[in-house]
């Protein structure tokens, strides 16, 4: 059930008014939980069992952790949560990847091995709700939150449909306190939430799907046959496509949650205007980058062990972050590039801590954006051969079509816009809009969605992760 589908529009049109009309807070939460499970079952009813199992297990383990002071027992209970959640994630997401690489490795050793076919469908959203649920058991183990949460509240935290299938990765400490006390959205909250949903759908349907995706898909499909302008259009265009696709989804999720009276954290903050790569990861997919920081990078030792240890921890974190995105060495390469960028940047800032010369900030911003786009190549290309063939397009002088030139210009305008507004936020920008500005923005989005309708219905890119 895609946010940009008629099915979801009907779903929301039923769920939202019923939620508002129910007289008791407990009834509202129960109804919202049931609706979230219906939303998830629309993808594949069988996988509801996995979601319910993971939820119930982590809820029970967290209560056991909170009930004992025995250090060894607490560690065992946390280990069970980690093994169960990561085991399920590993089986469904990486089983085929492991088999294929085992076959290749044995082949290099002269051993013929034909693994069974792997046709298990990846449960949608499993990467997101697994990380959300793990944050709860880990925080309870650390003593940072109470582990005696009501099962219904905990199940709703995990399954709440706005963030269930593609984030943001909302943590228990952010949402559970909101579920404890009765709340209903104000008219202003609901209206603002709907504006965010419209902006998110506009970003997805108009910018990502209609402006950038056709150009990017064509050039990558014919990698090696295109020249400079088409390659530039796809090079910068994919940066625009993935930002407007995933950023649009996050806006929809935040807006939908706000319609029901719940606040989600920002997931993007003008990332292409970043001053360096550490700044980029404070702006891009913030819920994942902070999760990796708090539950992987810092436990590995963070920056506490000297230059080599810090570099190792950064690289391991980014390699695993790349692998989280998908069972492919291309995603690992993307994570490795970002790990390398972070390591080099850290060494460079240690050597030259202050940028005092004129134009340094502008140069850093431009270089960051260019290298982020370089890293998007292995993220988008299915194989190293396709990535290399795509990059060779920069060596051939060739003009482009109108659509390619428009996509290239739009991507560069996007970069300039984010650079201009990087010290602000979308909320602040909307707050500065003149009276009636939000209504005008909503109207423009509705017109754009109408004009963009009727084409192929594309799933959000991050649904595959």
Whether 32 contacts 19, CB under 8 Å: yes
Q: Locate tokens 């291309």: which residue?
A: 330
Residue 395: burial class (beta carbons within 10 Å; 0-12, 13-18, 19+): exposed
Is 163 noted as a catalytic residue in this protein? no
Distance in angstroms (rounded) separating the CA atoms of residues 171 and 131: 9
Phi-psi region of 409 (alpha: psi -120 to 50; beta: other; left: phi over 0): alpha
DSSP element (H, E) containing 404:
helix 402-421
DSSP element (H, E) containing 48:
helix 48-67
DSSP element (H, E) containing 78:
helix 71-108
Catalytic residue, candidates 163, 226, 285, 325 = 325
48: which residues sit within 8 A by CB, 6+ positions away?
37, 40, 41
Distance in angstroms (rounded) separating the CA atoms of residues 180 and 200: 29
Token reading at 294:
């708090």
Q: How many Cβ atoms are within 10 Å of 75's Cβ, its own excluded?
A: 12
Distance in angstroms (rounded) separating the CA atoms of residues 367 and 276: 8
210 secondary structure, DSSP code: I
Whether 293 contacts 264, CB under 8 Å: no
Distance in angstroms (rounded) separating the CA atoms of residues 125 and 409: 34
168 preceded by cis ω (within 30°)? yes
Whether 37 contacts 48, CB under 8 Å: yes
225 secondary structure, DSSP code: S
Q: Which of 434-460 are b and which e, b meaning 16 or more Cβ less than 10 Å from the residue's Cβ?
A: eeeebeebbeebeebbeebeeeeebeb
Helix (H, G, I), strand (E, B) or coil at 122: coil
Distance in angstroms (rounded) separating the CA atoms of residues 400 and 194: 38
Distances (CA, A) of 57 to 123, 209, 223: 18, 39, 47
The whole-angstrom distance between residue 49's C-alpha and the CA centroid of its chain comes to 24
- Active site amino acids: 325
């Amino acid at each position: 059930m895609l946010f940009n589908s008629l099915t979801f529009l009907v779903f929301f049109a039923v769920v939202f008014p019923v939620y508002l009309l129910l007289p008791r807070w407990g009834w509202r939460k129960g109804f919202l939980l049931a609706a979230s499970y219906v939303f998830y079952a629309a993808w594949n009813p069988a996988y509801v069992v996995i979601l319910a199992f993971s939820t119930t297990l982590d809820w029970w383990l967290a209560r056991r952790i909170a009930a004992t002071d025995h250090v060894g027992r607490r560690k065992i209970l946390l280990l069970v949560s980690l093994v169960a959640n990561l085991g399920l994630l590993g089986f469904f997401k990486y089983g085929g990847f492991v088999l294929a690489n085992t076959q290749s490795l044995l082949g290099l050793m002269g051993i013929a091995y034909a693994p069974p076919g792997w046709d298990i469908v990846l449960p949608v959203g499993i990467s997101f709700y697994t990380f959300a649920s793990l944050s709860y058991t880990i925080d309870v183990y650390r003593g940072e939150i109470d582990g005696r949460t009501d099962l219904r509240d905990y199940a709703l935290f995990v399954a709440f449909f706005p963030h269930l299938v593609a984030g943001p990765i909302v943590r228990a400490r952010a949402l559970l306190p909101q579920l404890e006390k009765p709340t209903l959205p104000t008219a202003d909250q609901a209206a603002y939430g709907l504006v965010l949903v419209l902006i998110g759908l506009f970003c997805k349907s108009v910018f990502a799907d209609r402006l950038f995706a056709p150009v990017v898909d064509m050039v990558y499909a014919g990698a090696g046959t295109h020249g400079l302008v088409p390659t530039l259009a796809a090079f910068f265009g994919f940066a625009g496509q993935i930002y407007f696709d995933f950023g649009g989804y996050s806006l929809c999720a935040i807006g939908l949650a706000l319609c029901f009276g719940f606040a989600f954290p920002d997931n993007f903050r003008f990332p292409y205007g970043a001053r360096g790569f550490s700044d980029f990861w404070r702006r891009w997919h913030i819920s994942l980058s902070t999760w990796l920081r708090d539950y992987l990078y810092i436990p590995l030792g963070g920056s506490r062990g000297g230059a080599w240890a810090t570099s190792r921890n950064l690289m391991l974190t980014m390699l695993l972050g790349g692998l989280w995105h998908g069972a492919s060495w291309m995603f690992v390469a993307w994570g490795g590039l970002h790990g390398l960028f972070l390591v080099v940047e850290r060494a460079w800032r240690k050597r030259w801590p202050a940028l005092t010369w004129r134009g340094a900030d502008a140069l850093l911003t431009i270089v960051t954006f260019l290298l982020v786009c370089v890293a998007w190549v292995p993220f988008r290309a299915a194989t190293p051969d396709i990535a290399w063939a795509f990059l060779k397009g920069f060596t051939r002088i060739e003009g482009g079509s109108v659509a390619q030139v428009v996509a290239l210009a739009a991507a560069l305008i996007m970069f300039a816009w984010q650079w201009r507004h990087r010290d602000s936020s979308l909320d602040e920008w909307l707050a500065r809009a003149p009276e009636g500005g939000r209504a005008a923005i909503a109207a423009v989005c509705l017109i754009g969605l109408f004009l963009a309708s009727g084409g192929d219905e594309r799933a959000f890119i991050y649904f595959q992760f």
